[in-house]
Amino acid sequence: MIRRRQFTHAGLLLPLTAALSSQVLSSQALAAKAQGDPSPSSRKILLDTDIGSDIDDAVALAYLLRQPRCELLGITTVTGDAQGRARLAAALCEAASVETPIYPGEETPLFVDSMQTDAPQTRRLKSREATFPNHAAIEFLRDTVHAHPHEVTLLAVGPLTNIATLFARYPETPALLAELVIMGGKFSDYPTPWGPTEWNVIVDPHAARQVFAAAVPKITATGLDITWQVSMSPEEVKARFREDPLLEIVLDWSKVWFEERELLHFHDPLTAATLFNPSLCRFQSGDVYVDLESKPIPGVTSFRENPASTIQVATNVDSDAFFKEYFSVFHQ
């Protein structure tokens, strides 16, 4: 089996019911409103994640929970053990004192066999009792987007099964997004250990192809060729992640990751951080194609420059600026 990041990509808040509105905001946003600050630069975010396999999903969620300009409207999880992934997300939300709806989503790809069936980081959870509503994630995403037309940024940092299902089931939804931001694909020849492939896309290549072809007003993708350039050793992670109680939880979960890995690459955190500091990367407009016939595995992505395209991909990164941005939210 070919795996990205070796190729492996792949809580506790009490279960939040569907009665929790999609309008629930992060505690930071609520505090700002209480102080009379409308936070004009804040962004309404829906996070779709496969937290629990690669540790960078948890690193990204910690950033979003501490980012004062993030109005986190909800979280959906994707790929195998979606319930366990929801518990991991809930654990971080509880630690950050943030209440937001959490829904387990689709566990299997549209057409290909599952390559990500478990969430190893759940082994670090101290409680496994919480459960979350099944078979409601897609409707939750639809309801939230429709409640805030042209205001919601959908941040997808896992395989795109939930997003493709949402767009297929409710075809009016893509046009109602403000932006779809994706960690996925590889759009240049920058060397990585797995050639032209990237995990989030090859796990569900048919979903990726449908999503990149959707009529979203704006799609922004940060590929593996860019995120691979931003990494830390276990020693660096241990030193920096003791600076905040939320990061200490992620540090504990990272023990599972570092059992088999030598570095933490900030794939998803970089993608999340560009929402609030776009200058971290340079972007170029163009067309993205997902090859369903590529060998030895479907899902190789390609990029062709097109100034008229509604898709833009990252073409470089300022690593030092990223780390400054990332850790800045934990020192306020």
pTM for the whole thing? 0.89
Q: For the chain, what is the mean pLDDT?
A: 90
Those residues whose C-beta lies under 8 Å from the C-beta of residue 14, and which sit 6 or more positions away, are 130
Give the largest Cα separation in the chain, rounded: 56
For residue 194, give Cα distances in angstroms to 1, 140, 296, 322. Answer: 11, 35, 11, 24
Q: What is the pLDDT of residue 40?
A: 52
Residue 166 burial (CB < 10 Å; 0-12/13-18/19+)? buried
Q: What are the pLDDT digits (tens) for 246-277?
A: 999 999 999 999 998 999 999 999 999 999 99
Token pair listed for 57:
């999903």
Q: What is the pLDDT of residue 130?
A: 78
How many helices, marked H, and strands, marked E, lie in the chain? 13, 11
Averaged pLDDT for residues 226-230? 99
Token pair listed for 82:
């979606």
Asked if pLDDT for residue 127 goes beyond 80, the answer is: no
Contact between residue 269 and residue 59 where contact means Cβ atoms under 8 Å apart: yes
Q: What are the pLDDT digits (tens) for 174-200?
A: 999 999 999 999 999 999 999 999 999
What percent of the chain shows pLDDT beyond 70?
Answer: 87
Q: Is the N-terminal amide bond of 296 cis, ω within 30° of 0? A: yes
Q: What are the pLDDT digits (tens) for 27-40?
A: 444 444 333 343 45
Partners of 281 in beta bridges:
317
Give me the domains of the chain, ranges plus CATH numbers.
4-328 (3.90.245.10)
Averaged pLDDT for residues 34-53? 77
